C-alpha cells in the first residue's frame, strides 16, 4: 500500500474514490462543500433529500460518477457537537471497511483534512494509515478452500493544505510503521499454540532480525536460562514438553551513549493454569497469553521499519504453562534470579514468575526505563474491561508519559495504585513471599509482586489482559498496545 499527502486542488486530482465526511444536520464542512462544488451539488442534494442520515460510522457509496473522481464514499460523522478523536477514529474504521468492499484501486481521504478538536494533522493522517492497515489485515487462518481475494486498494492519499503536507506525510509514514508492527503482533497472537510455541517465537525473532537492519537477536535455551539462575522462570516451564526460550531483541537507532528503553513481554504460549488448572470453558483464549511478547515484537518491528532514532531492547521469556509429573506443585518454593525465594501457591499465577526473572535480566542494559507488558490478570479485565490497559508505575514521569501516549493514540491506559498494602497478602511462612494473595485487588497485588523486583529501576507495568484481544464476531488479537508503545518511544526520539 502506498500513502501520500495530496495538496493539489480537488479539480486537478484524479481518484477512483473520494472519501468525505458529513455531519448530521446536513451542513457541509469545508472538505465536503469543496467536493460538492466539484460535483455540481450532488452531495448536498443527497444529504438534504434524507437519503443519508450521517450517523456516525454510516457509509454511502455514490458509484460511477464517470469523472476525474470515479466515485464518492460518504461517511457519517454524527453530531458536530462531541466530534472528537474517538468519533474520528470510528468514522475512519467505517470508511476503511467500506472502501475495501467497494473495490476501489486508489482513494483520496478528504475526511483526513476534517478539523478534529485535539487531533493535529500528523495524527489525523497517522490514524488513516492505521485504520487502512487494520482493515486490510487478514488472520493467518488455517482454513482450507478458497481464500478471499486480496484487497484491490493500492494507493491512498490524504488531502491537506500545502502548509500541513509535511506533517501529513510524517503521520502517514508513522501510521504505516504502526500498522506493520500491529500486523506482526496480531499474527503472533492469532496463531494457535500448537504452531506458536516458544521455539517458534525464537525463530520469528530471528526472522525479524533478518528482515530489518538495526535489529539484533539472541535466543537463549534452557541450559543458558538455568545458568542465569532463573529458577522462577524455569518453574513455569517444568511441566511442558516444549523447551523454553529467553528471547532478546536489541534495536539500536540512537547513539551508543543513550540508555535504552527495555520492553519485557510475557510470552506464555499457552496457559492451562498448570496443576492449579483452569476450567475448560474458554481455555482456548489462553493461546493469547503471549500477547505481551507479541506487542514487544510488533513495537520493535515498527521502530525498525521506520529507522526510529531510539534505543530499545525487547526481552521475552517464552514458555508453556502445562501439567505433568514434572510440573511445579502448589507450595513449591523456587529461587528467582534476583535471589529472592517465592512460594508458588497457585501455578496459574505464572506470568509474574517468568516476568520477575526477565526484569532482573534486563538490569544488564541499565535501562532508561523498563516497561513490562503482560496479559497478567483476569482481575484487570474485571476492573477495566476491554477499554483501558491497566498501568502501574513507581515513577510519575514515566507513568504520565504512558498515559499521554495512550490519550494521543486512542490506545488508552489508566493508572492504578501501586501501594505496599497490596504486597501484604503475599506474606509467606515458607519463602520470602508467595506468588498470590487472595482474590481481592488481584491486579494490584500482581503489580505489587513485580514491584519487588524493580528496586532502582524506572519501571511501569501494563496489564493488557482485557485489551490484547477482541471477543465476539471479531474474535482475535487486537494488536494493542503497539500504537501506545510506539508513540511513547517516538516521543523519546
> Active site residue: 124, 126, 352, 408, which one?
352
Instruction: Choose between 43 and 434: whose C-beta lies nearer to ligand BES.
Output: 434
Q: Kindly report the backbone phi and psi dihedral angles of residue 188, in degrees, each rounded to the nearest multiple of 5, phi listed first.
A: -65, -40
Query: Least separation, in Å, of the C-beta of 268 and Zn ion?
Result: 5
Query: Least separation, in Å, of the C-beta of 417 and ligand BES?
Result: 17
Q: Does 375 bind ligand BES (CB under 6 A)?
A: yes
Q: Does 271 bind ligand BES (CB under 6 A)?
A: yes
Query: Least separation, in Å, of the C-beta of 331 and ligand BES?
Result: 14
Question: Is residue 278 flagged as an active site residue?
Answer: yes
Nearest to 139 by CA among 288, 3, 239: 288
Query: Least separation, in Å, of the C-beta of 275 and Mn ion?
Result: 12
Residue with cell 526473572: 357
Classify 392 as helix, strand or coil. strand
Q: If residue 21 lies in a helix (H) or strand (E), which one and from where to where?
A: strand 18-22
How far is residue 34 from each of residues 31, 117, 290, measured CA to CA in Å?
Answer: 5, 21, 48
> Active site residue: 206, 252, 278, 415, which one?
278
Instruction: Choose between 6 and 350: whose C-beta lies nearer to ligand BES.
Output: 350
Q: If residue 256 lies in a helix (H) or strand (E), which one and from where to where?
A: none
Instruction: Choose between 229 and 378: whose C-beta lies nearer to ligand BES.
Output: 378
Distance CA 470, CA 25 (A): 34
Query: Least separation, in Å, of the C-beta of 246 and Zn ion?
Result: 17
Instruction: Choose between 108 and 188: whose C-beta lies nearer to Zn ion.
Output: 188
Question: Is residue 352 flagged as an active site residue?
Answer: yes
Total number of residues shown for the chain = 493
Segment interacting with ligand BES, rule: CB under 6 A, options 48-56, 181-189, 378-386, 398-406: 378-386
Cell of 5: 499527502
Residues 289-308 that bind ligand BES (CB under 6 A): 289
Cell of 393: 508505575
Instruction: Choose between 90 and 352: whose C-beta lies nearer to ligand BES.
Output: 352
**Which residues make beta-bridge pairs with 184?**
none
Within 110-168, strands assigned E span: 155-159
Query: Least separation, in Å, of the C-beta of 269 and Mn ion?
Result: 12
Q: Are strands 459-463 and 389-393 parallel, antiparallel or unpaired?
A: antiparallel
Classify 146 as helix, strand or coil. coil
Distance CA 415, CA 391 (A): 5
Segment interacting with ligand BES, rule: CB under 6 A, options 23-31, 120-128, 198-206, 374-382: 374-382
Cβ neighbours around 59 below 10 Å, total:
18
How far is residue 14 from each of residues 8, 60, 75, 342, measured CA to CA in Å?
Answer: 11, 20, 20, 66
Q: Which of 57, 378, 386, 476 binds ligand BES (CB under 6 A)?
A: 378
Q: Which of 29, 78, 351, 466 binds Zn ion (CB under 5 A)?
A: 351
Distance CA 174, CA 127 (A): 10
Residues 66-105 that bind ligand BES (CB under 6 A): none
Q: Are strands 215-220 and 245-252 parallel, antiparallel or unpaired?
A: antiparallel
What is the pattern of x (binds ligand BES, CB under 6 A) and - over residues 320-359? --------------------------x-xxxx--------
Q: Give alpha helix (H) positions in 153-229.
A: 165-190, 198-211, 222-227
Q: Note whether 113 and 159 are within 8 A (CB).
A: yes
Residue 379: name its binding partner from Mn ion, ligand BES, Zn ion, none (Cβ under 5 to 8 Å by kind): ligand BES
Q: Which of 36, 343, 348, 411 binds Mn ion (CB under 5 A)?
A: 348
Quote helix, strand, coil % in the chain, to nearest 5: 40, 20, 40
Instruction: Choose between 165 and 384: whose C-beta lies nearer to Zn ion.
Output: 384
C-alpha radius of gyration, the chain, whole number = 24
Residues 263-282 that bind Zn ion (CB under 5 A): 268, 271
Segment interacting with Mn ion, rule: CB under 5 A, options 9-17, 83-91, 271-279, 431-439: 271-279
Instruction: Choose between 83 and 288: whose C-beta lies nearer to ligand BES.
Output: 288
Residue nearest to ligand BES according to CB distances in the complex: 378
Q: Which of 289, 372, 411, 487 binds Zn ion (CB under 5 A)?
A: 289
Q: Note whether 353 and 342 are within 8 A (CB).
A: yes
Distance CA 136, CA 155 (A): 13
Instruction: Choose between 36 and 350: whose C-beta lies nearer to Mn ion.
Output: 350
The number of residues that bind ligand BES (CB under 6 A) is 16
Cβ neighbours around 13 below 10 Å, total:
15
Instruction: Choose between 245 and 266: whose C-beta lies nearer to Mn ion.
Output: 266
Segment interacting with ligand BES, rule: CB under 6 A, options 165-173, 175-183, 198-206, 369-377: 369-377
Q: If residue 77 lies in a helix (H) or strand (E), which one and from where to where?
A: none
Query: Least separation, in Å, of the C-beta of 242 and Mn ion?
Result: 16
Q: Which residues bind Mn ion (CB under 5 A)?
A: 271, 348, 350
Q: Which residues bind Zn ion (CB under 5 A)?
A: 268, 271, 289, 351
Active site residues: 278, 352
Q: Which residues bind ligand BES (CB under 6 A)?
A: 271, 289, 346, 348-351, 375-379, 381, 436, 442, 465
Amino acid at each position: 500500500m502506498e500513502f501520500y499527502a495530496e495538496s493539489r486542488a480537488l479539480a486537478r486530482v484524479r481518484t477512483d474514490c473520494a472519501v468525505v465526511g458529513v455531519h448530521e444536520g446536513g451542513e457541509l464542512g469545508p472538505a465536503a462543500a469543496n467536493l460538492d462544488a466539484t460535483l455540481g451539488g450532488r452531495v448536498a442534494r443527497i444529504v438534504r433529500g434524507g437519503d443519508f442520515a450521517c450517523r456516525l460510522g454510516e457509509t454511502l457509496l455514490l458509484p460511477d460518477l464517470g469523472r476525474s473522481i470515479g466515485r464518492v464514499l460518504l461517511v457519517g460523522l454524527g453530531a458536530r457537537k462531541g466530534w472528537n478523536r474517538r468519533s474520528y477514529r470510528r468514522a475512519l474504521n467505517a470508511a476503511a471497511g467500506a472502501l475495501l468492499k467497494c473495490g476501489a484501486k486508489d482513494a483520496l481521504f478528504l475526511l483526513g483534512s476534517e478539523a478534529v478538536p485535539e487531533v493535529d494533522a500528523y495524527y489525523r493522517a497517522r490514524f488513516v494509515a492505521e485504520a487502512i492497515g487494520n482493515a486490510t489485515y487478514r488472520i493467518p487462518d488455517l482454513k482450507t478452500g478458497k481464500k478471499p481475494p486480496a484487497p484491490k486498494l493500492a494507493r491512498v492519499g490524504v488531502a491537506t493544505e500545502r502548509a500541513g503536507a509535511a506533517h501529513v506525510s510524517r503521520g502517514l509514514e508513522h501510521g504505516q510503521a504502526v500498522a506493520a508492527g500491529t500486523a506482526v503482533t496480531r499474527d503472533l497472537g492469532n496463531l494457535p499454540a500448537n504452531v506458536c510455541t516458544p521455539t517458534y517465537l525464537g525463530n520469528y525473532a530471528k526472522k525479524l532480525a533478518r528482515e530489518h537492519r538495526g535489529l539484533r537477536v539472541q535466543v537463549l535455551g534452557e541450559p543458558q536460562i538455568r545458568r542465569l539462575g532463573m529458577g522462577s522462570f524455569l518453574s513455569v516451564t517444568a511441566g511442558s514438553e516444549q523447551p523454553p526460550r529467553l528471547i532478546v531483541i536489541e534495536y539500536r537507532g540512537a547513539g551508543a551513549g543513550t540508555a535504552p528503553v527495555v520492553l519485557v513481554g510475557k510470552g506464555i504460549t499457552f496457559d492451562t493454569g498448570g496443576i492449579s488448572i483452569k476450567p475448560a470453558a474458554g481455555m482456548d483464549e489462553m493461546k493469547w497469553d503471549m500477547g505481551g511478547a507479541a506487542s514487544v515484537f510488533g513495537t520493535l518491528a515498527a521502530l525498525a521499519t521506520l529507522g526510529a532514532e531510539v534505543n530499545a531492547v525487547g526481552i521475552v521469556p517464552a514458555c508453556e504453562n502445562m501439567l505433568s509429573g514434572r510440573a511445579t506443585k502448589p507450595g513449591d518454593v523456587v529461587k528467582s534470579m534476583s535471589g529472592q525465594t517465592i512460594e508458588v501457591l497457585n501455578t496459574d499465577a505464572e506470568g509474574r514468575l517468568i516476568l520477575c526473572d526477565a526484569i532482573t535480566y534486563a538490569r544488564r542494559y541499565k535501562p532508561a526505563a523498563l516497561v513490562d507488558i503482560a496479559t497478567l490478570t483476569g482481575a484487570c479485565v474485571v476492573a477495566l474491561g476491554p477499554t483501558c490497559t491497566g498501568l502501574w508505575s513507581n515513577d510519575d514521569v514515566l507513568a504520565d508519559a504512558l498515559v499521554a501516549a495512550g490519550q494521543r493514540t486512542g490506545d488508552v491506559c489508566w493508572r492504578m495504585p501501586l501501594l505496599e498494602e497490596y504486597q501484604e497478602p503475599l506474606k509467606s511462612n515458607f519463602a520470602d513471599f508467595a506468588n498470590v494473595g487472595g482474590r481481592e485487588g488481584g491486579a494490584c497485588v500482581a503489580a505489587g509482586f513485580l514491584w519487588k523486583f524493580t528496586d532502582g529501576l524506572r519501571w511501569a507495568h501494563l496489564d493488557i489482559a482485557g485489551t490484547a484481544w477482541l471477543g465476539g464476531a471479531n474474535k482475535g488479537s487486537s494488536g494493542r498496545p503497539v500504537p501506545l508503545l510506539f508513540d511513547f518511544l517516538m516521543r523519546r526520539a
